[in-house]
Amino acid sequence: MSKEWKPRIVAFFCNWCTYTAADLAGVSRLKYAANIRVIRLMCSGRVDPQFILDALARGADGVLIGGCHPGDCHYVEGNYKMLRRFQMLKRMLKDLGIEDQRVRLEWISAAEGEKVKRVVNEMVGQVQKLGPLGIPEKFEEWDKEMEHFAAQVAEKDAASACACEPQGKPALATA
């Protein structure tokens, strides 16, 4: 798989501006990278941080969110609400070791088909450089580590139980 690795980018576009801009890009036959998969929502305000985390956890290498320009939101201010959430999420993602360029928020109006093309190509290029995020694989690894750890603990428990000195509650119970 690594030989032919291509970034997978999930995009959440608001119905009124960015999704329409992507339609415009299509109608104008602009060409951009095929690595992006767009999910349509009514407003960028509907983008639950869990969507972003879920996409990353399921193997996305990047997530793009597109909304109307500030002041232009079809729903008055959904895009501002998204911006606030996005800033918080960014800090969390940083702590998780997920690079800045992997999650991106862009304001793209219905007229900016050209910007859809530019942003997608830019982002695909950046994520390509960063390489795979590979969270599903990491999950597998972590699961293995956990199993290994659990087995070790169980072994130790069994050993100490033999030494007839009960240790009270096992250390993992609170973890």
Partner 1 sequence: MKQQANGEIRIGFYICHCGHNIAAMVDCPDVAKYVEKLPGVTLSRDYKYMCSDPGQELIQKDIREFKLNRIVVASCSPLLHEHTFRCATEAGGLNPFFFHMVNIREHDSWVHTDRKDATEKAKALARAAIGRVAHHEALEVKKVPIHPDVLVVGGGIAGIHAAMTLANAGKKVFLVEREPSIGGHMAKFDKTFPTLDCAACILTPKMSAVGAHGNITLWSYSEVTKVDGYVGNFTVTVKRKPRYVNEELCTGCQECIANCVYKEPKFLDEFNEGLGKRKPIYISFPQATPQVVLIDPEVCLNFKRGTLTDKCKKTCVEACGEKKAIDFKQTEEIKEIKVGTIIVATGFQAFDAKRIPQYGYGVFPNVYSALEVERLVNASGPTGGEVILRDGRHPKAIGIIHCVGSRDKKTNRWCSRVCCMYSLKLAHLLKEHTEAEIFNFYIDMRTPGKSYEEFYDKLLEEGVHFIRGRVGEVTDWAMTPEEEGKLVIRVEDTLAGFVRRIPVDMVVLATGLEPQSDAQAVRRMFNMSCGSEGFFLERHPKLAPVNTFTDGIYLAGACQGPRDIPDTVAQAGAAAAEAMVLIDKGYIEQEPNTAYVLEEECSGCKSCIPLCPYTAITFDEAKEKASINEALCKGCGTCVASCPSGSIAQRLFEDDEVFSEIKGVLAYE
Number of residues that bind partner 1 (CB under 8 A): 52
By C-beta, is 49 or 153 nearer to partner 1? 49
Stretch that binds partner 1, among 38-46, 99-107, 151-159, 164-172 (CB under 8 A): 38-46
Min dist CB 131 to partner 1, Å, is: 17
Please provide residue 105's backbone torsions phi and psi, each rounded to the nearest 5 degrees.
-115, 130
Contact 82, 107 (CB under 8 A): no
Considering the complex, state which of residue 23 and residue 99 has its C-beta at the smaller distance from partner 1. 23
104 binds partner 1 (CB under 8 A): no
**Residues 6 or more apart whose Cβ sits within 8 Å of residue 62:** 7, 8, 9, 10, 101, 102, 103, 104, 123, 126, 127, 133
What is the 3 state secondary structure string of 73-116?
CCCCCHHHHHHHHHHHHHHHHHHCCCCHHHEEEEECCCCCHHHH
Report which of 162, 152, 144, 120 is spatially closest to residue 35, judged by C-alpha positions. Answer: 120
Note the Cα 12 to chain centre separation in Å: 11
Query: Which residues between 108 and 167 bind partner 1 (CB under 8 A)?
Result: 109-112, 114, 117
**Least distance (Å) between residue 59 CB and partner 1:** 5
Q: Three-class SS of residue 55? A: helix
Instruction: Rule CB under 8 A: choose which of 18, 41, 161, 169 binds partner 1.
Output: 41
Name which of 6 and 130 has its Cβ closer to partner 1. 6
Q: Is 90 in the site for partner 1 (CB under 8 A)?
A: no
Residues near partner 1 (CB under 8 A) are 8, 10, 15-17, 19-20, 22-23, 25-27, 29-32, 34-35, 37-43, 45-49, 51, 54-55, 58-60, 71-72, 74-78, 81-82, 85, 109-112, 114, 117
